[in-house]
């Protein structure tokens, strides 16, 4: 170490890396504040594009602003041919990898990709948020040998995504469920992908570069999560009466129970509460079959009880992954795409952080603690 710098905790735990107006996570109280609003005040009550505008412009849009935003983003949904070429080349890759590669090409469609002025950043934020669902839908279609379906400008962002995937206009409840999901995951404090994006932006690099880097951080399993394996867990358990034995066996073998525990929350993840309600609505209105939802409820209660007994004081509660799995599978979406679908919501938050970091205009440059040898000599 040089000077008087103090070594930071491992993983920067507890270190405040930035001041932000965008979101606040209170892990002890189980609260998530987005742009001044409690999550429960926003999710399901305002649309995803309204929540995005809140983060980008520091206020919820009025009727005229919202109409203009929707018109702009409707036009922006169409992706350039070079981006579709990359998606086609990545047809065998995971959706999150295809999104990372395709995202990098989107700067080719900007008048000045290096412009980081507030108007340019806002324009890039709208473009990225509008196009991420188009990219994921195109990859989903190409992966099964079908041509991409062009986006429609008259549907909401969520409804248009489901239309592009399934080829038919979705049930309004399904579109609202996806819209609520994206609002729920739009931002979440200084997580790894957000921090990665802010570090890139702090060098005065552009919006597309910062967001591409954020995707690279998200794809790592320690951050992007695993909502897909939650479904595998429920299928393997099969019925409520087998849940306790299954959970105890997994714990005895040292394996993590998917959908439980969080790095920050020491109580129930508030996003899980929002998505549990969405899943319940979906199970009755869309599937007309509550079997999987009822199994999930039973498994959740059993798992919480067993975790408390096996790991007292660890406070391993239900996290956002658990009910994400139920919501997204109810929409007919493949588990392999779940992390990429998360990115379709989080991109609005990433863009807001890039806007904020560019305005701050200060390089993020921490020090490191050298722990290697010194004074080595080359033997000749």
Provide the b/e sequence for 265-299 (b: ≥16 CB within 10 Å). Answer: bbebbbbbbbbbebbbbbbeebeeeeebbebbbbb
Q: 264 Cβ partners below 8 Å, 6+ apart?
A: 25, 27, 189
CA angle 244, 249, 251 (to 5 degrees): 95
Please pick, among 50, 139, 188, 262, the residue that the annotation labels catalytic: 262
Catalytic site includes residue 309: no
Catalytic site includes residue 253: no
Instruction: Tell me the angle at which helices 243-252 and 227-237 cross, rounded to the nearest 10 degrees.
Output: 120
CA distance 380 to 377: 9
Tokens, residue 116: 């980081």
What sign for the dihedral angle of Cα 135, 198, 320, 310? positive
Please pick, among 50, 280, 321, 356, the residue that the annotation labels catalytic: 321
Gyration radius of the chain over CA positions: 22
Provide the b/e sequence for 223-244 (b: ≥16 CB within 10 Å). Answer: ebbbbbbbbebbeebeeeeebe
Which residues have a catalytic role annotated? 262, 321
């Amino acid at each position: 170490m040089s000077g008087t710098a103090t070594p930071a905790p491992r993983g920067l735990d507890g270190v405040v890396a930035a001041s932000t107006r965008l979101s606040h996570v209170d892990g002890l109280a189980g609260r998530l504040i987005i742009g001044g609003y409690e999550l429960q005040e926003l999710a399901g009550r305002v649309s995803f594009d309204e929540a995005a505008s809140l983060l980008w412009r520091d206020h919820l849009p009025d009727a005229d602003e919202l109409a203009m935003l929707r018109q702009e983003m409707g036009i922006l949904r169409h992706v350039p041919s070079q981006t579709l070429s990359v998606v086609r080349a990545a047809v065998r890759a995971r959706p999150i990898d295809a999104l990372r590669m395709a995202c990098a090409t989107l700067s080719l469609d900007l008048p000045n990709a290096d412009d980081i002025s507030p108007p340019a950043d806002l324009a890039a934020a709208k473009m990225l948020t509008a196009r991420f669902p188009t990219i994921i839908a195109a990859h989903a279609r190409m992966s099964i040998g079908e041509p991409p379906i062009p986006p429609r400008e008259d549907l909401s962002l969520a409804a248009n995504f489901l239309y592009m995937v399934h080829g038919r206009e979705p049930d309004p409840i399904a579109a609202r469920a996806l819209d609520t999901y994206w609002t729920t995951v739009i931002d979440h404090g200084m997580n790894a992908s957000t921090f990665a994006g802010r570090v890139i932006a702090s060098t005065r690099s552009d919006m597309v570069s910062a967001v591409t880097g954020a995707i690279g951080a998200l794809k790592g399993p320690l951050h992007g999560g695993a909502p897909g394996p939650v479904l595998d867990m429920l299928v393997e358990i099969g019925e409520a009466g087998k849940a306790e034995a299954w959970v105890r066996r997994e714990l005895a073998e040292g394996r993590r129970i998917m959908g439980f525990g969080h790095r920050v929350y020491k109580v129930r993840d508030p996003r899980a509460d929002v998505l549990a309600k969405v899943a319940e609505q979906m199970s009755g209105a869309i599937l007309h079959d509550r079997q999987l939802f009822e199994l999930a409820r039973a498994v959740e209660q059993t798992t919480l009880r067993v975790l408390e007994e096996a790991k007292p004081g660890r406070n391993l509660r239900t996290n956002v992954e658990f009910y994400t799995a139920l919501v997204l599978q109810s929409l007919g979406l493949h588990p392999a795409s779940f992390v990429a679908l998360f990115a379709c919501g989080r991109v609005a938050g990433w863009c807001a952080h890039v806007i904020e970091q560019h305005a701050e205009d200060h390089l993020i440059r921490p020090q490191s603690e050298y722990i290697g040898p010194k004074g080595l000599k080359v033997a000749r």
